[in-house]
Amino acid sequence: MRRRQSVGSCSWVILLCASAWSCSGRSGDRPTAAYEPETGRLRTLAFDVNKNGKNDAILYTEGAGTRRIELDLNENGKVERWDFYDAHGKLAKVGLSRRDDGIMDAEAFYTEAGALTEIRISTKRDGRYDRTEFYERDVLVRSADDTQGDGRPDKWDTYEPDPHPADGAPPYAISSTAIDESGAGRPTRRFIYGANGTIARVEVDRAGDGVFVPLAPPPSQVPPPTRRR
């Protein structure tokens, strides 16, 4: 997932679209603009991003600036990406339809340099974002889930790179999972995973101060004391 170049002004976009169409030497859809009848200001601009002769993006303006750009790059008639811009013309976030069906169920956020930092996901696709993924150098490092639907995370996962993922598996593996057993909005129990995803140990935060200590194994797993001679 990569960041698109931010658009600073509507007039710049119009000139760019017109130039790209005229220089392409192809027939097909031309950039199509719609204007506010009262003010004559640009309202929307449809243009062809992949230069295949069919307009697949619509730019929406607010005042003299770009508000958002909607893209239908697979040209199935449904938007799969929304680029939102702030008042300064900088990219604020990218909305995504993970099923390419026109329903926005994720939002991605980027640094000024274009590095992915965060993705918020609506797992039920109802407009409520109940999972947040955090990235460093475009790599998933941790996530937080609201499994109860009360607006607070109650499950936290951390990840580590997997240099040899199975076919079709992501290039990372869960290294730990923490859960909230008390409803306090903070993790109280943590599972640390070992090789092949097995649980290596369980830790608890009894004092509620963020300090986890290993949970003693059940008596059946405690090795018998060494007999002294």
Range of the domain at 162: 62-221
Q: What is the CATH number of the domain that holds 90?
A: 3.90.930
Which alpha helices (H) appear in the chain, and where do they start and end? 10-24
What does each C-alpha distance from 48 to 72, 74, 103, 184 come to in angstroms?
Answer: 10, 12, 22, 50
Conformation bin of residue 99: beta by default, left when phi > 0, alpha when psi is -120 to 50: alpha
Q: Which amino acid is at 219?
A: P
Residue 206 falls inside a structural domain: yes
pLDDT average, residue stretch 163-168: 85
Residue 219 pLDDT grade (very low, low, confident, very high; cuts 50, 70, 90):
low
Residue 12 falls inside a structural domain: no
Residue-averaged pLDDT of the chain: 85
> pLDDT digit string (tens) for 39-63?
889 999 999 998 899 999 999 998 8
The structure's pTM equals 0.79
Residue 200 falls inside a structural domain: yes
Residue 124 falls inside a structural domain: yes
CA 54-59-63 angle, to 5 degrees, is: 155
Residue 90 falls inside a structural domain: yes
> pLDDT digit string (tens) for 111-137?
999 999 999 999 999 999 999 999 998
Query: In the chain, how many domains are there?
Result: 1
Percent of the residues in the chain that have a pLDDT greater than 90, as a whole number: 62
Residue 149 falls inside a structural domain: yes
Residue 51 falls inside a structural domain: no
